Amino acid sequence: MFIINWWRFCRGYLVISLRGRGVERLLNLAIARGIGFWDLKRQASGAQLSINLSSFKALRPLVRQTRCRLHIVRKAGLPFWKLRLRRRWGLVAGVLIFGAALYFSTAVVWQVRIIGTEHIDEAEVLELAGQLGLRPGVWKRSLDLAGLEEALARRHPDITWASIRLRGTLALIEIVEQLPEPEIERGPADLVAAKDGLITRVLVLDGEAVVAPGDTVVKGDLLIRGALVVPDHSPGEEQQPEAIPVRARGEVEARVWYEAVAPINRVVPQHIDTGASTKSYLLSWPGKSLRLFGPAESPFDKSRQEVVKWRWRWRNLSLPVELVTVVYHEVHITEKVISESEALQQSRDRAMELLKRQLPEGVKVEQLYFQEFREQSQDYVRAVAETLENIAEYRPLNP
């Protein structure tokens, strides 16, 4: 059905209305003479149907013969579009120019982005990619992505693997850096405490333990001495056993406490929007921006800022330029009195945030408790976390 409708549209057709007493006779004569039509609809004083252009010419003598009235309701199809576009050549030229500009703008790489870098400078990778032919402004069809990936990994000593993908006008370079060889220290060393704590377990692999479970240590205290005592079994006079310097190895597990303090305030600032606002519009592209109109800074003494970004996208195509709308909302700052329980909860949350910043990554909190105290007419909350962790770290022996 789609193909038939498309063929009718390409040839052009008319939607006509027939009026008069001889409409039925007219339709019978048209069928008898092989004049095709479709979408026949009965109306109050006649009928409406669709007919192609060649059949319409053959139908006109029959209209006069049956003394019916014919009215063209609508003209549809490609031939009529051509006639309209001839009169509007400026519109046609604009559409063609826009289509060509859109095609050329999406056929070019506008932005090159690097991901996966930790130790390698992104500017260095961008410069190397530009030397190989991948830079903003290059035609996407001229790029040999497989060859570029191989060349990046071959010409940069710190790149193990590279992948280049095109996402619209964006060229995304993903690299995997070569892992640096770990520097292994092999010289004699002691294990000392990295922080204060209460010893709970000592495991010695090499060296001599100088602490035991239950001991309290502070940062820098010796935990495992980097020395191996070799007894002297030679006959004769009794001699002091010889201590051979070694690199101490082992684990010293201890209970460690972290704490953070936050004040308890029942009077807190409150930001209230006054309803006044102003907007500023900017065009932004990688590394630069252009203010179209609107204030460069907030015209209000106190305000909050709202940023909305819009970029033209179509499927996986996008332009590197985006429209940025910055809305400045005027706010009035007042003081609000809250309840004791609400003030206490907010202080606990703040102390907990400060406490989490101190905790090492991956360390589990064994116990957590809060303390309230007063100092210099100000109430505070102290959050204390107890952890269980290995506190041993190396300290090289003096040569």
Per-residue pLDDT of 150-166, as tens digits, reads 888 888 888 888 888 88
Q: Is the pLDDT of residue 83 over 80?
A: no
Q: Which one has a higher pLDDT value, 178 or 356?
A: 356
Quote the pLDDT of residue 182: 57
End-to-end CA distance of the chain: 93
Share of the chain above pLDDT 90, in %: 30
Quote the pLDDT of residue 121: 86
Q: What is the mean pLDDT of residues 105-119?
A: 85
Cα–Cα distance, 81 to 87 (Å, whole number): 10
Quote the pLDDT of residue 196: 94
pLDDT in tens, 306-346: 999 988 877 666 777 889 999 999 999 888 888 999 999 99
Q: For the chain, give me the number of helices (H) and strands (E)?
A: 8, 22
Quickly count: other Cβ atoms within 10 Å of residue 241's Cβ.
8
Q: Is the pLDDT of residue 5 over 80?
A: no
Confidence of residue 184 (pLDDT cuts 50, 70, 90): low
- Asked if 217 contacts 193 with a C-beta cutoff of 8 angstroms, the reply is yes
Quote the pLDDT of residue 170: 86
Quote the pLDDT of residue 371: 93
Q: Please, which residues have CB within 8 angstroms of residue 172's CB and are 6 or more apart in sequence?
A: 113, 115, 164, 165, 166
Q: Is the pLDDT of residue 33 over 80?
A: yes
Regarding the domain with residue range 2-82, which homologous superfamily does it belong to in the CATH classification? Answer: ACT domain (3.30.70.260)
Q: Is the pLDDT of residue 123 over 70?
A: yes
Confidence of residue 198 (pLDDT cuts 50, 70, 90): very high
Quote the pLDDT of residue 125: 87
Residue 93: beta bridge partners?
none
Quote the pLDDT of residue 241: 65
Q: Is the pLDDT of residue 237 over 60?
A: no
Confidence of residue 352 (pLDDT cuts 50, 70, 90): very high
Confidence of residue 236 (pLDDT cuts 50, 70, 90): low
- Asked if 347 contacts 334 with a C-beta cutoff of 8 angstroms, the reply is no
Quote the pLDDT of residue 10: 78
Mention the CATH class of domain 111-177: alpha beta
Domain range annotation of the chain: 2-82, 111-177, 189-250, 261-266+338-393, 268-335
Tokens of 29: 């004569």
Q: Please, which residues have CB within 8 angstroms of residue 353's CB and are 6 or more apart in sequence?
A: none
Quote the pLDDT of residue 311: 85
Q: Is the pLDDT of residue 108 over 90?
A: no
Contacts 24+ apart (CB under 8 A), 283-288: 283/321, 283/322, 283/323, 283/324, 284/309, 284/321, 284/322, 284/323, 284/324, 285/320, 285/321, 285/322, 286/111, 286/320
Cα–Cα distance, 98 to 91 (Å, whole number): 10
Strands 111-115 and 170-177 come out as parallel
Quote the pLDDT of residue 97: 84
Q: Which one has a higher pLDDT value, 198 or 285?
A: 198
Q: Please, which residues have CB within 8 angstroms of residue 357's CB and are 6 or more apart in sequence?
A: none
Q: What is the mean pLDDT of residues 110-119?
A: 86
Window from 33-42, 257-266, 299-308, 353-362 with minimum mean pLDDT: 33-42
Q: Which one has a higher pLDDT value, 96 or 87?
A: 96
Quote the pLDDT of residue 215: 94
Quote the pLDDT of residue 344: 92
